[in-house]
Amino acid sequence: MTYVVCQTGNCAQTYPISYFTKGAKNVPCEECGGVLVDSDGRGNLSRHADVRRFITVEDLDKQNKSELKKKYAKLKRLQDDIAELEYKLY
């Protein structure tokens, strides 16, 4: 499959070529507002969809849950350490 790549260097978002109609011109990137297809109908093409990794809400949720789990484990260890120190103090 062929993909159109945003021409903005910091973006490089990819879109399947089937997303575009024949003769499309002046098509902006939905991500950054940059140029996907210019006024002459030219665009950057790639056969790789992963020029820029797509991040979905599910990916973010999974990452947040993983981070939260680690922080709860760290909190538990700290609470245990505090309890031990308080026991020694009193």
User: What token pair was written down for 21?
Assistant: 């109609």
**Res 50: pLDDT:** 64
Summarised one tens digit per residue, pLDDT across range 66-78 is 999 999 999 999 9
**Res 68: pLDDT:** 97
Given a contact cutoff of 8 angstroms between Cβ atoms, the answer to whether 49 and 1 are in contact is yes
d(CA 16, CA 18): 5
| 3-state secondary structure (DSSP) of residue 35 | strand
User: What token pair was written down for 23?
Assistant: 């003769």
**Res 30: pLDDT:** 87
Q: Is the pTM of this model over 0.75?
A: no
**Res 18: pLDDT:** 87
**Res 53: pLDDT:** 56
**Res 15: pLDDT:** 87
Q: Which amino acid, residue 32? A: C
**Res 86: pLDDT:** 93
Q: Which amino acid, residue 90? A: Y
Q: Write down the domain spans for the chain.
A: 1-53, 55-90
Which positions of the chain have pLDDT values less than 50? Answer: none
